[in-house]
Structure 1
């Protein structure tokens, strides 16, 4: 067991037990960020997401070096879309539509896969979720609790959607959450900034905000 002190925004900090802390890598999927993916083909500003990748890689390396549990998530649905809820079935017509890397957000398609720059290692689970939150109808809560995890570091795409949805549900489930802000991104930077700002609302109601460099610096303090 090792303990590290992670410096956070606004003069705050949090002490982490590395054995009880997990890094959640949220939806680093090809269709969201690669030039050959759906977002790139549609002309969305993927460069904003790509710019966060070095920080995400730094955080991933630091978490692994510190011996933290790491998990990945993918938003994806059954080929027949039977697990797509009624609201999104009616209003989100993109899901299941053809794209350059296969049907959008459908299990087994190339566009749904985690990108090579963030490839999971053996023993790092990939949680498939039919929704925004990584806890929505998944085994993630059980996966974490059987390991004694009580604190989550979160990063990924997009900040205001799947990252924030996961963080909010995690807080309701009793996890302490730290958003690694530089390792998250949204196509509209204003959405990213608004999500970070909400973290500070009502007396830091949703947890802590830090970044990949401070995590890397903290992990270096561990004696191996």
Structure 2
């Protein structure tokens, strides 16, 4: 049923969850990198200091992306230097030629290679002796590279039943964690044998999500791109 809004405008109600649905696939990776930490605190940390990290803050900046996407075994012309993509559904991607099927299977394989700069802020406590503690902060920077293959099988409404083109929207989300228990520090001393900086071996955990908007008709995709 159409509801009249203005003289020449009509509104057709749509069940959005039947047009625009989402699917996620998640891959977990681990990595370790060497990293130098500069101590912010002005107070000296003697050579006999014992260090305990109590909190970390992980940040990253993507430097380079290389990716490859296959849908139902077909190579897809994608935007290789971006974590986002909008892919127009082509007949060669469809797993069936039967127009009467309400849903079809999409097998998506994404090979994602990302290099980025890593920044880790740490908060810790230096134990000088049995009765003295010093709170300190430090920051370290390094470079890392991860490679992930993400597999996803989804059911989408049959695009052959639509009167216009349909799109898949693919987006990757990368989450990183540097656990305080997985950062191992060695002190670097100045000429007075105080700790000038810290050398660390940092073990990082990554979670990479492939977030898919299962089906987006061209009109909805155009509307979203303008918002």
Structure richer in helix, relative to its length? 1
Name the structure, 1 or 2, with higher relative contact order (CA <8 Å, separation 6+).
2
TM-score per shorter chain, which class?
under 0.3
Structure richer in strand, relative to its length? 2
Give TM-score scaled by structure 1 length: 0.20
